[in-house]
Amino acid sequence: MGNQLRRESQHNQPVLTPITQAMQDGALSRRELKQLMTRSNLPGLIHLFGFALTLICTGSLIWLASGTWWMVPAMFVHGIVWVHHFALQHECVHYTAFRTRWLNEVIGNYCGFAILLPNRFFRYEHCDHHTYTQLHGKDPELIELPISLRKYLWTISSIPYWKQKFIEIFAHARGRFSPIEEKFVPKEDRRSLVIEARVMLALFGAIVTFCIGTNWWGPLFYWWLPLFLGEPVMRIIRMTEHVGRPHIRDMKENTRTNLVSWPMRFLAWNMNYHAEHHYASSVPFHALPKLHRKLEGFVHIERRGYLGAHIDILSQICTRSKKPL
C-alpha cells in the first residue's frame, strides 16, 4: 500500500518544463526570457512584407502560365505559400506577430478568411490545444497517429481536414457547437462566433456571385484552387509538430522541434521551433531561434527536419501494423 501511494504521489508531481530546467541549469535567466518576450511591430511588418512579396511572385507564375497546363504546378507552388497564411494567423492569435493589438486582430482575421479558418474561433480552439497538448479527449487540435499507411495518406490528402472545417463553419453559422467545442467556447461569446461564421459565408457567397455575374474567375485560380492544392503540404507540416509523440503532459516529450531550411522557416514564421513555442508561447516568432539556442538539450529536436519527422511517424505506423492482434 505504501509503495502504491508513493507511485501515485510521484505520478502526480508536476513535470518540470524545459524552461524551468534551463533556468535551474543556468542556460537561461529570467532576464533573458523577459527580453525574449519583448514584442515589436518592426520584425512582423518586415516579415509580412516579404511574405506578401513572395505571394506576388508565386501568383505571377500563374499569370505567366495562363492558358497552359503549367498553371497546375504554378497554382501548387502558389498554394504552398498561400496555406502558410496559417502560420501568420497562428502568431496573430497569440498576439505575438505585432506589438500593436489591433494589427494582430486585423491581420489574423484576414488570414482566417484567406484559408477559411475563422479567427476568433481558432483563438479559443488553440488556447485549449496549448493547455491540453496531446491529451486524448482534451486537445481539440490533436491529430492521431494513423493506424495504417492508407490512413496516413488519407490524412495528408487534407480531405478529412476540409470535411471537418466545412462542417464546423456551417454548424456555427446555424448556432450549433459540438460537445468538444462547448468545452472551450464560453457561452457568453458563442453569439460572436455565429456572426463570424455567417459573415465569412456571406462574403464568400458575394465573391462567388460576383465571379458568376462578371465571368471573372481570378479568385478561383489565384486563391481557391491553390488553397486546396497546397493544403496537403500544410497537413504534412502540421503532422510533424505532435503526431507520433507520447500522449502525456511532459513538454519534453509531446512536441517536436524540426530543423528546416531558411525558406521553410520563413514561410512558417519560425513555427518549426514548435517545442520552444509551446514552452514559452509569449515569445514572438522572431525570438524563437534565440530561445532554441538557449534550450538546446532540453527539448525534443528532429534534426532531419520535416522528412525525418515523417520517417519517425511511418516507422511507428509500420511497427504498429506488424503487432499481432
- Grid cell 448556432 — which residue? 175
The domain segmentation of the chain, as residue ranges, is: 36-160+218-316
Which stretches of the chain drop beneath a pLDDT of 70? Answer: 1-16, 25-26, 321-325
- Dihedral (Cα; 272, 91, 36, 98), 10-degree rounding: 140
Instruction: For residue range 216-263, list pLDDT tens digits in order.
Output: 999 999 999 999 999 999 999 999 999 999 999 988 899 999 999 999
The answer to whether 40 and 99 are in contact (CB under 8 A) is yes
Beta strands at 301-302 and 257-258: parallel, antiparallel or unpaired? parallel
Q: What is the DSSP letter of 220?
A: I
Q: pTM (2 decimals)?
A: 0.91
Instruction: For residue range 102-117, list pLDDT tens digits in order.
Output: 999 999 999 999 999 9
Neighbours of 129 (CB within 10 A): 20
The DSSP secondary structure of 28-69, one letter per residue, reads S-HHHHHHHT---HHHHHHHHHHHHHHHHHHHHHHHHTTTST
Instruction: State how far the Cα of 272 lies from the Cα of 224, in Å rounded to an integer.
Output: 26
What pLDDT, on the 0 to 100 scale, is given for residue 11?
A: 38
Neighbours of 45 (CB within 10 A): 15
The answer to whether 133 and 278 are in contact (CB under 8 A) is yes
3 state SS of 258:
strand
The answer to whether 263 and 149 are in contact (CB under 8 A) is no
Report helix, strand and coil shares of the chain as percent, to nearest 5: 70, 0, 30
What pLDDT, on the 0 to 100 scale, is given for residue 30?
A: 86
Amino acid (one-letter) located at 2 = G
What pLDDT, on the 0 to 100 scale, is given for residue 104?
A: 98
Instruction: State how far the Cα of 292 lies from the Cα of 47, in Å rounded to an integer.
Output: 19
What pLDDT, on the 0 to 100 scale, is given for residue 21?
A: 75
Q: Which residues, 6 or more positions from 106, have their beta carbon under 8 angstroms from its beta carbon? A: none
